[in-house]
Structure 1
Amino acid sequence: MSFLLNPVGTPSNQRKFAQHLVLCLLSALFLVTGCKKDVEIEPTPVNNTLTANAGADQETQVGQVVTLDGSSSKDSENKSFTFQWAILRKPAKSQVTLAGATTAKPTFTPDEVGEYELELTVANANGKSTDKVLVTAAVSQPVTINQNISVRTVLTDRIANPELPDYIVARSVAVTAELTINPGVVIAFERDTRMDINDNGGIIIAKGEPNKRIRFMGVEKTKGYWVGIMVYSGSNANVFENIDVMHTGSRFMLSGIKAGMGLFGSSKAQIALKNSVFSDNDGYGLYVQEGSILREFATNTFRNHTEAGILIDAVNVPKLDVTSVFTGNNGRNVVEIMSSVVKGGKDDEIVWKGFADKTPYRMTGILTINAGWKLEPDVTIEMARDAEIRVDNSAYLIARGTPTEKITITGVSRTPGYWRGLISYSTSAQNVIEYAEISNAGSLALVSGKKANIALYGAKSTMSIKNAKISGSAGHGIYVGYGSVLNNDAATANTFENNGAANVMIDK
């Protein structure tokens, strides 16, 4: 018997059919779902942010200017914002304040050892943000100098605080090579020590700045603690500019002199001295021995000395500028001049100027004039006991003041007969005294047993004296030796007061 088999009806075919049907349904489902619209996902909201950044923590020295930096602070929308800095914490004794507290980069100067904590606040419409920074201030230890300086040496500003020493000189030091001292350096000297700038190699270059002065001082800040600076070097490189010298005078330098700085003539020591201050020295501020050289001298100040601010020889007097100050509470507020000679070339005219602060010159002994010597209006010369002025034959004197700015030559003590007087041997027709006051001479005879404020002596010694006041002589007002020449109207062209003998005495 033959059978017609239905493939669908067989169990095998039924399984195949079911599998095929499932595949068709899955395909249809995929097609249906693949055609649906994508689901939209809401974005996460972005917050606008403002972030303060007070910068990195810093380590510094007491006295060193600190600059804070908040410039890395930012706003996510690049909107502008304000700065406000505040000091949260500082050492107990500190008095610091911030400069520019509302700027990105304020400054302050630590004045005590310790930690300074500061806070920055930045703010705008987006809000505000804060950040802190820590500044730690310490003090470095000074370097000890206890041996001579015999090789080229540079001293650097190691410690920012100008009240603290960078170097301490523990024993007297001789400089026999080039020594450069950088701006801001402070050198403190132990008791009775000194610094010698020697000739034949010794050079000192100490150039400070107005805000970074170089200071030579005592370990203890008292008058007379250390000896001072002794300059023997004749180098034309020697310079002191924007320097302070103080607390010297513990011992004599040479010739019984105490001073902050001494220049010695045997080696023709020289220095340029500018914008410098000598103060609180037990002696003079500056001693310039005859033979030494003030190469430059400008805008210097001398105050609080036991003696005068300066003791100088006559040759260097013209180097003094009119703006320097010599009257700051010194033992004697004068420019003191030792016995010395005014000298120059054949055609040189040596000029002594009047100072802006009215400082008088003070002559301590004999002043000899071997060149043309001119006194400008308003000059005052005070003469020590028995001191005198001698105008030699080859020289001349021009002392011409004005009605309002007279030239004055008188005694330290304004008493009759205090100093010896002025004597001229000069035959020059340039000799003149006009609008001047010459007083209180005649302590000793000037010549031929004669006492006088002014004496002309020698064949053809010549002078014109007019509009002058001649007073307080212990002898004659004017004495004219035989053969000397005085203007004929001298007796009437001048004023005479309180002279011990004749106002004008002429030997014939």
Structure 2
Amino acid sequence: MKRVPRRLFYMLLGFSFMLAACSSPGTGGVPTVTSVTITGVPASSQLAAGATVDLGATVSVSGGASQEVDWSSSDTAVATVNNDGVVTAVATGTVDITATSQADATKSDTVTLTIVLTTTDCSNPEELPSTINDDTTLNAGRCYRAVSIVDVNAELTIQPGVTILVDADKRIDVESKGHLIAVGTASQPIVIKGATSSAGFWGTLRILSGTVVNRLENVIISDGGNNTSYPGNVWVSSSGKVSIKNSTFSNSARYGLYVSSGGQLESFSGNSFSKNNIAMYLRAEHMGSLDNASVYNDGNAENYLDVDGGATVASGTWPATNAPFRVLDGKIIDINHDISVEAGARIEFEGGSRMDVETAGSLKAVGTAASRVVFTGTATIPGAWDTIRVMSDDVNNVFDFVEVSYGGDNTSYPGNIWLSSSGRLNLTNSVISNSKQFGVYVASTGELIQSGNTFAANTSGDIGP
């Protein structure tokens, strides 16, 4: 009898299995498996996703050859298994885990596992330390509590199913020397929330480190945003960097997510913003990092994304988000790169704000008859905002199926659209309306190529001077 230990990690509630090892006498050194017995099954097997159980397999053989096996899962959506027999639960369900002899592929053992993912018990949470200076893992399915400000100066890994309760006015700071890997699953998300579930109960998760390692994936963050200096459930500093996927920001007293000038969204997709005051605060440099599949307007008090002006830092595409971008009062967006705007995108401007297409940049806004690109004021009155200034002569300055309305408030740039003497714009199939001054103003040698447009209710005229 030869005992071969196998480490099998999984989460389950109840399982049954049968093993039939049908074989004929081995020849040529090929072993015959006579029996397999899995050992080490705990009395209670109901565990959270990612929790571990150490099992072994006792294999009776004849022939003395190698008893290495290949592992496989019948449904990787329920559980996966690696080459060492480590099973990771993914979702509730039933799955067959099979070990097949490498010496004789006709010999195998199959175990049927019924995976039942448990909820996190927070009746007796473990306190987090105020300072984390060594690499630390918060174990799957456990509950923790931040009773003070937590400074993270090393690698903090948060496993699926973890819940962190944060006390009143406290926060978690991922410092410049630290980084955060918070990766849950769809069925076992990571939850970071207030110890009391009310908007603004706690401060924020501050991302100050600039490492690409920082990740939030399948994370639900709620009840923060009470700190006026860091006004969001998550606050990314000017040096911070983070990837955010499939995560939910909810019930913030201010913003769900606040990204400072210089902060970076390494990747951003499939996220949701619900019941915050405002979904996001960002600057022009971040607009192209967003996606059009995230949900930005799920019951937030204000249905827009605040854009605090700023300049582009790279070429890119501004998506058609389901909440409009709103350029804040008196702010200017400087376009110094090649920017495209998706059909259906909507950008609103508060009083005194504008957009400048600088000499090094270009702006290509191409909508459709059914889904125009819209540049307009937050108020439906002529002069609600300034203008779109076009200073570059780039052939990519194209507006097709675009609506520009309620601008023209700046006497120096008197139109919804203003072309400098070096500016160039191809304007087609668009609606230019309700300017306090001209619909389009073309300075001296500026070049406007236009056809198929509709001009309406522009106070000083359609095209000036």
Please classify the TM superposition score into its range, dividing by the shorter chain length: 0.7 to 0.9
How far is the alpha carbon of 1:331 from its aligned partner? Answer: 2.2
Partner of 1:328: 298
Distance in 1, Cα, partners of 2:375 & 2:407: 9
- Structure 1's 110 and 437: CA in aligned 2 closer, same or farther, altered over 3 A? closer
* Residues 1:299 and 2:276 are matched in the alignment: no
The DSSP-based 3-state class of the residue aligned with 1:315 is: helix
Partner of 1:173: 150
How far is the alpha carbon of 1:320 from its aligned partner? Answer: 1.2
The DSSP-based 3-state class of the residue aligned with 1:332 is: coil
**From 178, 186, 193, the counterpart of 2:163:** 186
Distance in 2, Cα, partners of 1:214 & 1:111: 11
Partner of 2:310: 340
1:101-122, CA deviations, whole angstroms, 9 ceiling, x for partnerless residues? xxx999989999xxxxxxxxxx
Whether the 8 Å contact between 1:471 and 1:477 is mirrored in structure 2 is yes
Partner of 2:27: none
**From 215, 226, 238, the counterpart of 1:239:** 215
- Structure 1's 107 and 480: CA in aligned 2 closer, same or farther, altered over 3 A? closer
Partner of 1:12: none
Partner of 2:189: 213
Please provide the CA RMSD for this pair: 2.7
How far is the alpha carbon of 1:61 from its aligned partner? Answer: 8.3
How far is the alpha carbon of 1:58 from its aligned partner? Answer: 6.3
1:213-258, CA deviations, whole angstroms, 9 ceiling, x for partnerless residues? 111111111111000101100111111111011000222234xxx1
Distance in 1, Cα, partners of 2:359 & 2:119: 65
Whether the 8 Å contact between 1:253 and 1:259 is mirrored in structure 2 is no
Partner of 2:31: none
How do residues 383-394 of structure 1 correspond to structure 2 at under 5 angstroms?
383-394=349-360
How far is the alpha carbon of 1:443 from its aligned partner? Answer: 2.4
The DSSP-based 3-state class of the residue aligned with 1:503 is: strand
1:152-182, CA deviations, whole angstroms, 9 ceiling, x for partnerless residues? 11111354xxxxxx11111111101111111
1:408-441, CA deviations, whole angstroms, 9 ceiling, x for partnerless residues? 1101122221011111111222222121110000
Partner of 1:82: none
Partner of 2:445: 483
Partner of 1:278: 249
* Residues 1:464 and 2:441 are matched in the alignment: no
How do residues 249-268 of structure 1 correspond to structure 2 at under 5 angstroms?
249-254=225-230, 258-265=231-238, 268=239
- Structure 1's 220 and 395: CA in aligned 2 closer, same or farther, altered over 3 A? same
Whether the 8 Å contact between 1:157 and 1:186 is mirrored in structure 2 is no
Whether the 8 Å contact between 2:225 and 2:256 is mirrored in structure 1 is no
Distance in 2, Cα, partners of 1:322 & 1:169: 34
How do residues 404-483 of structure 1 correspond to structure 2 at under 5 angstroms?
404-445=370-411, 447=412, 450-458=413-421, 460-483=422-445
Whether the 8 Å contact between 1:227 and 1:253 is mirrored in structure 2 is no
Q: Counterpart amino acid of 2:245? A: K
Whether the 8 Å contact between 1:231 and 1:264 is mirrored in structure 2 is yes
**Which 5+ residue runs of structure 1 have no aligned equivalent?**
1-55, 65-98, 113-137, 160-165
Whether the 8 Å contact between 2:226 and 2:232 is mirrored in structure 1 is no
How far is the alpha carbon of 1:313 from its aligned partner? Answer: 1.8
- Structure 1's 158 and 211: CA in aligned 2 closer, same or farther, altered over 3 A? closer
**From 117, 120, 127, the counterpart of 1:144:** 127
The DSSP-based 3-state class of the residue aligned with 2:416 is: strand
**TM-score, normalised to structure 1's length?**
0.67
Whether the 8 Å contact between 1:342 and 1:350 is mirrored in structure 2 is no
Whether the 8 Å contact between 1:61 and 1:140 is mirrored in structure 2 is no
Partner of 2:15: none
- Structure 1's 359 and 485: CA in aligned 2 closer, same or farther, altered over 3 A? same
Whether the 8 Å contact between 1:62 and 1:139 is mirrored in structure 2 is no
Q: Counterpart amino acid of 1:203? A: H
Between Structure 1 and Structure 2, how many residues are aligned?
364
1:298-320, CA deviations, whole angstroms, 9 ceiling, x for partnerless residues? 100001011x2111122222221
Whether the 8 Å contact between 1:271 and 1:295 is mirrored in structure 2 is yes
Indicate the structure with greater strand content. 2
The DSSP-based 3-state class of the residue aligned with 2:132 is: coil
The DSSP-based 3-state class of the residue aligned with 1:333 is: coil
Considering Cα pairs closer than 8 Å and 6+ residues apart, tell me whether 1 or 2 has the greater RCO.
2
Partner of 2:89: none
Whether the 8 Å contact between 1:476 and 1:499 is mirrored in structure 2 is yes
Whether the 8 Å contact between 2:159 and 2:190 is mirrored in structure 1 is yes
**Which 5+ residue runs of structure 2 have no aligned equivalent?**
1-40, 50-92, 95-111
Partner of 1:132: none
Q: Counterpart amino acid of 2:146? A: V
Distance in 2, Cα, partners of 1:195 & 1:371: 36
Partner of 1:497: 456
